[in-house]
Structure 1
């Protein structure tokens, strides 16, 4: 049985609309004598990350916990905090191809939502990236209180888009989020780069 054509688009932020230059973190790690990849490793430990992604702690508290965990590696709390603060000043870059696609889709009358696992500084990040007026809705896990790939997250996203799941196409760079979206009844496309835009245009064509 053929699926209904999507009438709304839900795009992930990190890995889709926003990209990160790994050289930034690597530069901070070299400057502070840290092993390669340790900042991301500490910051994304699930027991540390999930509370900030579901709004149970603030971004500031999460940053403090990362610095605390880093302290033994750099020798002092002040040095650890300086390293983490320097790493955090970089807020990524907008992928121009994806932004152009979002604008194209909205111009065609299709609602576009941002569906992301994020912290309470998401609004500030969107402002810094110039994305505030580029999306119809923003669905932030730390506001919803549950993170992708949970079914409840995608239900909240569809409600925000005022579109039934069967008519929403989710684009994400994470396999678990893709599986979660499909389990919740959405269509989903695993993003690997701009070569996927042709497929997405066809999927949304009216």
Structure 2
């Protein structure tokens, strides 16, 4: 049985629309004598990450926890906070090809939502990157109170897009989120890079 044509697009933020240059974190780690990769490793540890992605703590509290975890390595809480603050000044970069695709899709009458596991800093980041007016809906896990790949997250996203799941195409760079979207009834594509855009255009036009 063929699926219904998608009339809405839900796009992940980090890893799809926003890219992070690993050299930035590496430079901060070198400057402070830290092991390469330690900032991301601590920040992404599930015990610290899950509460901020579901709105139980703020972005600032999350980063404070990262600084606390770094303090034993640096032997100085002030230096640990300074390292985290320097790291956090960089807010990533927008992939111009993906942004152009989103604009073209919206111009063709397809509703586009940003579907992201993010913190309460998301609105500030969108403003900083010039993305505030680029979406018909922004579905932030920390505002919803549940994160991808939970079914409830995707239900909230479809409601925000005012589109039934069978008519939503979701794009994400993580397998578990793609699988979660499919369980929730959405079409889903695992993002591998801008080379996927031709396929996505065809999927929305077919």
Q: TM-score, normalised by structure 1?
A: 0.99
Q: List runs of 5+ in structure 2 lacking aligned partners.
A: none
In 2: Cα distance, 1:154 partner to 1:122 partner? 18
Q: List runs of 5+ in structure 1 lacking aligned partners.
A: none
2:196 counterpart of 1:191: no
In 2: Cα distance, 1:27 partner to 1:179 partner? 35
2:101 counterpart of 1:101: yes
- Deviation (angstroms), 1:180: 0.4
- Deviation (angstroms), 1:121: 0.6
Q: What per-residue deviation string (whole Å, max 9, x for no partner) do you get for residues 179-200 of structure 1?
A: 0000000000000100000100
- Deviation (angstroms), 1:57: 0.4
In 2: Cα distance, 1:157 partner to 1:101 partner? 20
| Aligned residue in 2 for 1:122 | 122
Q: TM-score, normalised by structure 2?
A: 0.99
In 2: Cα distance, 1:143 partner to 1:75 partner? 35
- Deviation (angstroms), 1:75: 1.4
In 2: Cα distance, 1:73 partner to 1:100 partner? 43
Q: What per-residue deviation string (whole Å, max 9, x for no partner) do you get for residues 18-51 of structure 1?
A: 0000000000000000001000000000011000
- Deviation (angstroms), 1:144: 0.1
Output the aligned Cα RMSD. 0.5
| Aligned residue in 1 for 2:61 | 61
SS, match of residue 25 in structure 2: helix
Q: Spell out the pairing of 1:53-202 with structure 2 (5 A cutoff).
A: 53-202=53-202
Q: What per-residue deviation string (whole Å, max 9, x for no partner) do you get for residues 65-118 of structure 1?
A: 000000011110000000000000000000000000000000000000000000
SS, match of residue 133 in structure 1: coil
- Deviation (angstroms), 1:122: 0.3
In 2: Cα distance, 1:133 partner to 1:55 partner? 23
Aligned residues: 206
